[in-house]
């Protein structure tokens, strides 16, 4: 027989970033954010640099938040 789990206690430790991901209107963007939750700052920086390169390759404008 399995031990019951108090789901309310699990919610107390929920990552606020994961909560934010669920509030995004785009399912694809939500998935991207959920996959980054818990990664190291170095890994997140790497993903950001890769995103910048993808934007350049697709001819998209640079993210104005970085200027």
pLDDT score for 41: 93
| Residue range 2-11, pLDDT digits in tens | 666 555 554 5
Query: Which 3 state secondary structure label does DSSP give 67?
Result: coil
Rounded alpha-carbon distances, angstroms, from residue 4 to 10, 17, 26: 12, 27, 34
Q: Could you report the per-residue pLDDT of 2-56, keeping only the tens digit for each?
A: 666 555 554 555 677 677 777 888 888 888 888 888 899 999 999 999 988 898 8
Give the integer Cα–Cα distance in Å for 37 and 51.
16
């Amino acid at each position: 027989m399995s031990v019951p789990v108090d789901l309310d206690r699990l919610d107390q430790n929920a990552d606020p970033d994961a909560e934010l991901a669920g509030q995004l209107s785009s399912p694809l963007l939500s998935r991207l954010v959920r996959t980054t939750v818990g990664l190291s700052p170095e890994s997140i920086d790497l993903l950001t640099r890769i995103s910048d390169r993808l934007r350049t390759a697709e001819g998209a404008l640079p993210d104005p938040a970085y200027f």
